[in-house]
């Protein structure tokens, strides 16, 4: 067996969620932001310099290189110089006066956002804190992720914008934050006169990395250095306006009808969306990631966005750059003669009833299994699993490994969850591997694409969501797949780069149960789960299904139980 650490492999696979105390969370976010913001009253005057480069080698030819240098005396008196290969800006703010000298007619949005994120990681803090009060909260490892959506689009085409803030539970510092027109990822914190300032900031898509090479006290600025009334400035300062989509479309010039390609897999109707930045002449200069309900539409959508032309946007009589979300609805169909399939939900429900006794004939049972894994200690140890099921409202699933113990159970209307030990994530993965098919109420039918495939020479139907490259490679972060044989029995799954194979099928009360489950990564065996026994449950006291003090409400899990 080729062993790998389950903790490392699966750390991001499952999340444990809860709703924290709202007032405390708002205080935590405020504290994190204020600790890491340089641009605020009380900050000691500073001089900062950062070098900006593409974050990934694949983007080395993107032209996204530059420098940002800031001399800051107070929130109302500062000087900033931003430079890229095709643009250079000197900006001086002194009270109500704003002086600019620009070389180049377009301020790259990635450079503009980077210059701000270096000293002000969260814009409009009070508005963000209002959203935090009702946001979705997830605890993922040592991180608390706070996310929310706001409605966007137009009256005809509805859309949403996503925003989030993430805090490190140990340090209380920002890990990342972002919304429309702002955001970044923050690393390598170090103190500056009581502030904790990220020395590495990642921004945008394609992503750039700003490395702070200088952060020091502001000293010896020459006379007139902050003079925002000096001669030689541009008559019209360069501005970037953040617009809603309705305002953006008022300036959109007429376009021809969209021609969407026929596709084998749905959804066949939905939206394609992205974020665009338009220069002062009405030409799109930057475009974010293109997203749609059907990824096959992304390339056509990208071409349509790139072809858009706008009348110049004017604010107070001055042409400005404009940034906005833009959405295009699509509608298409399958090519003539292409095979059609039942719904993903039909395959899931049939596979669940055929292969998993908790969804089969209703016969109560006790199932026991063993497995091996490498935990945080670095040693390989054996673990065990036990599932006692009487009905949909009385069951208990339990696993042990090293000094870790994990339980999920239900007794009537009350559900329970209990976890202890440093290897709890391993045990949650064991539960998922033993019952991997997602619950019907946790997914959108249109996310799934269906086609015929083979697994080890067995004809199957593959039900897949997420990205697959043109070469057939599944994205380990996005793709989820389930393969069913001609009878509807589950044969294989794929999730977070891991495969499971259902093997050694045996009958129990009319259900075809896999007595062996192999978990693989990149074709190599990670672990093997063996069902050592399955028998009728007999009489089981109700208290067996209770874990007092650990009541739980099902949320953020795609498991049926």
Where would I find the beta strands (DSSP E) of 255-364?
A: 269-278, 284-287, 291-292, 313-315, 318-331
The answer to whether the beta carbons of residues 435 and 358 sit under 8 Å apart is: yes
State the Cα–Cα distance between residues 431 and 57, nearest whole angstrom: 38
Q: What is the pLDDT along the chain (561 residues), one digit of tens a residue?
A: 333 333 334 444 444 433 346 788 999 999 999 999 999 999 999 999 999 999 999 999 999 999 999 999 999 999 999 999 999 999 999 999 999 999 999 999 999 999 999 999 999 999 999 999 999 888 887 899 999 999 999 999 999 999 999 999 999 999 999 999 999 999 999 999 999 999 999 999 999 999 999 999 999 999 999 999 999 999 989 999 999 999 999 999 999 999 999 987 778 889 999 999 999 999 999 999 999 988 889 999 999 999 999 999 999 999 999 999 999 999 998 888 878 888 899 999 999 999 999 987 778 999 999 999 988 888 999 999 999 999 999 999 999 999 999 999 999 999 999 999 999 889 998 999 999 999 888 887 878 889 999 999 999 999 998 888 888 899 888 899 999 999 999 999 999 899 999 999 999 999 999 999 999 988 888 899 999 999 999 899 999 999 999 998 876 678 888
Output the CA torsion sign for 421, 424, 425, 426.
positive
State the Cα–Cα distance between residues 250 and 404, nearest whole angstrom: 60
State the Cα–Cα distance between residues 8 and 375, nearest whole angstrom: 9
The answer to whether the beta carbons of residues 107 and 91 sit under 8 Å apart is: no
Query: What pLDDT is recorded for position 556?
Result: 61
203 to 50, 177, 248, 436: CA distances (angstroms): 13, 10, 24, 36
Residue closest to 275 by CA, chosen among 497, 113, 47, 90:
113
Query: What pLDDT is recorded for position 135?
Result: 92
State the Cα–Cα distance between residues 437 and 560, nearest whole angstrom: 8
Backbone φ and ψ of 128, nearest 5°:
-60, -45
81 to 90, 280, 361, 442, 496: CA distances (angstroms): 5, 21, 71, 49, 43
Token reading at 486: 């001609």
The answer to whether the beta carbons of residues 530 and 364 sit under 8 Å apart is: no
State the Cα–Cα distance between residues 518 and 371, nearest whole angstrom: 10
Sequence-distant (≥ 6) Cβ neighbours of residue 428 within 8 angstroms: 14, 406, 419
């Amino acid at each position: 067996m080729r062993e790998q650490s389950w903790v490392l492999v699966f750390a991001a696979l499952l999340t444990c969620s809860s709703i924290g105390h709202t007032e405390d969370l708002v205080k935590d976010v405020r504290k994190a932001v204020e600790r890491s913001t340089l641009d605020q009253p009380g900050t000691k005057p500073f001089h900062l310099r950062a070098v900006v480069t593409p974050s990934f080698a694949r983007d080395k030819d993107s032209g996204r290189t530059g420098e940002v240098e800031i001399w800051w005396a107070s929130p109302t008196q500062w000087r900033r110089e931003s430079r890229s290969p095709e643009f250079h800006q000197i900006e001086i703010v002194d009270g109500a006066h704003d002086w600019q000298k620009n070389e180049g007619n377009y301020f790259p949005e990635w450079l503009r956002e980077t210059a701000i994120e270096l000293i002000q990681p969260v814009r409009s803090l009070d508005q963000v804190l209002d959203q935090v009060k009702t946001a979705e909260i997830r605890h993922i490892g040592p991180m608390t992720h706070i996310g929310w959506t706001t409605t966007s689009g137009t009256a005809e085409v509805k859309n949403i914008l996503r925003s989030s803030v993430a805090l490190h539970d140990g340090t209380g510092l920002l890990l990342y934050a972002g919304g429309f027109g702002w955001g970044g990822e923050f690393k390598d914190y170090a103190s500056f006169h009581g502030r904790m300032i990220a020395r590495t900031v990642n921004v945008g898509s394609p992503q750039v990395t700003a490395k702070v090479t200088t952060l020091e006290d502001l000293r010896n600025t020459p006379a007139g250095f902050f003079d925002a009334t000096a001669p030689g400035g541009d008559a019209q300062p360069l501005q970037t306006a953040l617009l809603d989509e309705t305002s953006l479309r008022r300036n959109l010039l007429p376009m021809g009808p969209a021609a969407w390609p026929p596709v084998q897999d749905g959804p066949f109707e939905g939206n394609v969306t992205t974020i665009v930045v338009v220069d002062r002449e009405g030409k799109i200069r930057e475009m974010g990631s293109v997203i749609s309900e059907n990824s096959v539409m992304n390339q056509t959508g990208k071409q349509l966005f790139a072809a858009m032309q706008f009348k110049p946007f004017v604010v107070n009589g001055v042409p400005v750059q404009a940034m906005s979300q833009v959405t295009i609805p699509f509608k298409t169909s399958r090519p003539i003669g292409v095979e059609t399939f039942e719904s993903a939900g039909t395959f899931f429900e049939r596979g669940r009833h055929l292969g998993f006794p908790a969804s089969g004939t209703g016969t109560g049972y006790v199932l026991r299994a063993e497995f091996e894994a490498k935990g945080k200690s670095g040693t390989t140890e054996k673990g065990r699993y036990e599932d006692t099921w009487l009905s949909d409202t009385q069951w208990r699933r339990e696993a042990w490994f090293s000094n870790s113990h994990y339980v999920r159970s239900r007794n009537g209307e009350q559900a329970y969850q209990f976890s202890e030990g440093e290897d709890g994530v391993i045990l949650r993965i064991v539960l998922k591997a033993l019952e991997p098919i997602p619950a019907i109420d946790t997914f959108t039918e249109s996310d799934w694409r269906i086609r015929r495939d083979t697994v080890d020479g067995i004809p199957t139907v593959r039900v897949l969501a997420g990205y697959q490259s043109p070469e057939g490679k599944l994205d380990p972060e996005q793709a989820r797949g389930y393969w069913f044989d001609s009878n509807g029995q589950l044969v294989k799954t794929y999730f977070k780069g891991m495969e499971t194979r259902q093997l050694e099928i045996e009958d129990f009360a009319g259900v075809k149960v896999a007595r062996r489950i192999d978990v693989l990564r990149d074709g190599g065996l990670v672990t093997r789960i063996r069902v050592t026994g399955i028998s009728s449950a007999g009489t089981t006291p109700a208290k067996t299904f209770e874990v007092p003090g650990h009541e739980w409400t099902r949320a953020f899990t795609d498991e049926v139980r």
